[in-house]
Amino acid sequence: MDETLATPLPHDSTSQSRSLAVDFTWRKLKALITETNKPNASPLYTVDCNLITNNLTFKSTADDRVVGTGSVHAFSISPDYQLHGVQGTLKAQRRLHTVYTHQSTTFSDTGAPVKMTWTSSCGFKAWDFVCVDENQEPVARFSANMWAVKKVGKIEMLGPKAFDDAARDEIVVVGFTLYYCWLLRVNNPLNLLGSAFLSKEKIDKDESRQVEQRQAKLID
């Protein structure tokens, strides 16, 4: 994707960065995610897209293991995901606007879950999803090309964890799941209806439950 399509980020956030290309194969309904500075290398991940169930399966090509899964729902606008066996939810925070949060221990300095926030901006060609940490520092960006057929986007890892493999796994699974969710949302009136009836109280309860589950996982 052309660099000029992406939304500019603060200078400090791009001092450490790593880029991944996202290519889609329609014949196999599969996405391939590859290091942009290694165009002839094998993909790092494959993403199998099931158009019937709206489920995603992320695999590492190094050993064919499942890194995570994503599930987009017909009515709910908050997709679920699983990362290395730990369940999570991308919780919609605003009606009819892209503000999502998820809980992360990977980007935590203490090991306790912290809230990560995703927002988006849209231009004529690009659709950017930016993830910031609890200090509002950008850690990743998924730039989608709305007119592309094969080269559909690019994932940028930013900041101190740009070259951290665990952080890369998380951003790939969560970021692609959010992107896929929005692809389906714009073509699904049930999702728009779900946006109109979004409950803040339910969001708070769900986030509290996720924090408790992740803390229990750390103790185990």
Please determine, for residue 216, whether its predicted confidence score (pLDDT) is greater than 70: no
Q: Copy the structure tokens of residue 18.
A: 């790593």
Domain that holds residue 156: 3-219
Of 53-62, 75-84, 121-130, 161-170, the range with the lowest mean pLDDT is 121-130
Domain count, the chain: 1
The domain spanning residue 48 has which CATH number?
Answer: 2.40.160.200
Q: Look at 215 and 171; give whichever has higher pLDDT.
A: 171
**SS3 state of residue 94:** coil
Q: What letters, b where the CB count within 10 A reaches 16 and e where it falls short, cover 2-31?
A: eeebbbebeeebeeebbbbbbebeeeeebb
Q: 109-153 pLDDT, tens per residue?
A: 999 999 999 999 877 678 899 999 999 999 999 999 877 789 999
Residue 98's pLDDT is 84
Global pTM value: 0.81
Q: Copy the structure tokens of residue 61.
A: 């090509």
Please determine, for residue 96, whether its predicted confidence score (pLDDT) is greater than 70: no
Residue 185's pLDDT is 76
Residue 188's pLDDT is 60
Q: 35-58 pLDDT, tens per residue?
A: 998 878 899 999 999 989 999 999
Half-sphere exposure of 199 (CA within 13 A, CB side): 7
Q: Look at 45 and 181; give whichever has higher pLDDT.
A: 45
43-52, 71-80, 88-97, 206-215: which is most confident: 43-52
Decide if 155 contacts 20 (C-beta within 8 A): yes
Q: Would you call 51 exposed, middle or buried from its count of C-beta atoms within 10 A (0-12, 13-18, 19+)?
A: exposed
Residue 5's pLDDT is 46
